[in-house]
Amino acid sequence: MKYFGTDGFRGRANEELTVDHAFKIGKFVGWYYGLRQGRKTKAVIGKDTRRSSYMYENALVAGLVASGADAYVLRVTTTPSVSYVVRHGDFDCGIMITASHNPYHDNGIKLIDSGGYKMSPDVLEQVEAYIDGEFEIPLATGEQIGRAVDYVEGRARYIKSLIESMPCSLEGFRVAIDCANGSSTPIAPRVFTALGADVHVISNEPDGFNINMGCGSTHIERLQAYVREEGLDIGFAYDGDADRCIAVDEYGNVCDGDTIMYVCGAHLAKQGKLSGNTVVATVMSNIGLFKALDKLGIGYEKTDVGDKYVSACMQEHGYALGGEQSGHVIFSEYSATGDGINTSLRIMQTLVETGKSLAELAKPLKIYPQLLKNVKVEDKHAVMEHEAVKAAAADVEAALEGEGRALIRASGTEPLVRVMVEAPTIELCEQYVNKVVEVIESL
């Protein structure tokens, strides 16, 4: 697609993604679900804490209302909360304004369908065609003009649902939460406090520019140090829109999405609640996860990178658990999409029900050293199809003899080719990644 990548329309604010784009997206959505069919669209809008998110919020509302839709505005909230509100309310779609884990100067627009899932490619293609002027959309007039509704109560319902999803108290647990100065700030601390935990919060003072800056799931070192220094039981870090969660155990060790899927998947399997006895991961998940699941007799499926592919696989087969190494983890009993705060609660539930710490539960999992390097290119698709690149990857795979692997993939949102190698040592990872990178750069 031209504008929408694996996780929405994303780019530098008012450069790659402009306020005009936002107005047109809102106008298209209002027309497509409503005016086009002679009815009124009901759409939910949420945003993260970036300064530019307020600009896009106003533009989207203007576009929606201009094409006859009613726009229900959640204000600062998380992506999974928008999904929840759409899924459990009488809404046609949802819109989330966020660039997720990117710096403040980027922003993005995610479109969500009535089921709470990411909008289908055929609809997104029509959005793109409208943005490019391939057809016109009429403006609503008279009584057809829509309205904007302040709908912070929708966020409150989401918070209530998280609290009610926990079958046990968290009293006695000392929990650290890194809000990344983002969307989880008004939500996560309230949830954990309501459940009885002794909550220690950092990175919870957003100023419009500090989202993800040296904090959150992409800068986990701050939470690691904090958990160690304060002697806490566990820590959770989210990204800007809180659809990711990375955990830190009582020793400050990082537990990424792979570790979370292992810990929770093993517990669900013992309880007979892991439908299909299968975990859905992506091709980027660590080889150590697959080896550990093999030992437990748990099956797995691998999808392309992107939580939308994980979600689609889970929907198709009715699986209960899936996710990405990056911390997008989906528990289908509770959510249609990755939800960082829900993931935290499911980890806490596992700790309470097993009576073990996170470090104890993760101990059997051996994570192989993994190195990822991004190579900026002019044509990522041409690079991916080049025979020399394919041959370099095959040579690495052969040299590792089953004790590691090489993976080359194009970024879904940037002009990058990502080269990843897993091997028994970080030195081998470096050696083999550089071998492939040199081939790409020589092109």
pLDDT tens digits for range 101-153: 999 999 999 999 999 999 999 999 999 999 999 999 999 999 999 999 999 99
Residue 322 lies in a domain: yes
266 lies in the same domain as 357: yes
Taking 70 as the threshold, does the pLDDT of residue 410 lie above it? yes
358 lies in the same domain as 374: no
213 lies in the same domain as 285: yes
Is 100 annotated among the ligand-binding residues? Answer: yes
- The enclosing domain of 430 has a CATH number of 3.30.310.50
358 lies in the same domain as 375: no
Can you give the pLDDT at residue 402? Answer: 84
Residue where a domain stops, chosen among 123, 155, 187: 155
Residue 161 lies in a domain: no
Can you give the pLDDT at residue 6? Answer: 80
Give the residue numbers annotated as catalytic, written as ranges: 100
Is 241 annotated among the ligand-binding residues? Answer: yes
Is 294 annotated among the ligand-binding residues? Answer: no
Q: Range of 400's domain?
A: 370-442
Average pLDDT taken over every residue of the chain: 96
Taking 70 as the threshold, does the pLDDT of residue 73 lie above it? yes
Is 411 annotated among the ligand-binding residues? Answer: no
84 lies in the same domain as 125: yes
Please tell me whether the overall predicted TM-score, pTM, comes out greater than 0.95 for this model.
no
304 lies in the same domain as 170: yes
Residue 325 lies in a domain: yes
Residue 87 lies in a domain: yes
Residue 160 lies in a domain: no
Taking 80 as the threshold, does the pLDDT of residue 413 lie above it? no
Residue where a domain stops, chosen among 362, 378, 397: 362
Residue 417 lies in a domain: yes
pLDDT tens digits for range 366-388: 999 999 999 999 999 999 999 99
Higher pLDDT, 306 or 22: 22
Residue where a domain stops, chosen among 155, 174, 190: 155
Helix/strand/coil (H, E, C) string of the chain? CCCEEECEEEEEECCCECHHHHHHHHHHHHHHHCHHHCCCCEEEEEECCCHHHHHHHHHHHHHHHHCCCEEEEEEECCHHHHHHHHHHCCCCEEEEECCCCCCCCEEEEEEECCCCCECCHHHHHHHHHHHCCCCCCCCCCHHHCCCEEECHHHHHHHHHHHHHHCCCCCCCCEEEEECCCCCCCCCHHHHHHHCCCEEEEECCCCCCCCCCCCCCCCCCHHHHHHHHHHCCCEEEEECCCCCCEEEECCCCCEECHHHHHHHHHHHHHHCCCCHHHEEEEECCCCHHHHHHHHHHCCEEEEECCCHHHHHHHHHHHCCCEEECCCCCEEECCCCCCCCHHHHHHHHHHHHHHHCCCHHHHHCCCCCCCEEEEEEECCCHHHHHHCHHHHHHHHHHHHHHCCCCEEEEEECCCCCEEEEEEECCCHHHHHHHHHHHHHHHHHC
Share of the chain above pLDDT 90, in %: 94
200 lies in the same domain as 125: no
56 lies in the same domain as 40: yes
- The enclosing domain of 24 has a CATH number of 3.40.120.10
125 lies in the same domain as 254: no
pLDDT tens digits for range 192-208: 999 999 999 999 999 99
310 lies in the same domain as 400: no
Residue 269 lies in a domain: yes
297 lies in the same domain as 240: yes
Taking 90 as the threshold, does the pLDDT of residue 443 lie above it? no
**Domains identified in the chain, total number:** 3
352 lies in the same domain as 414: no
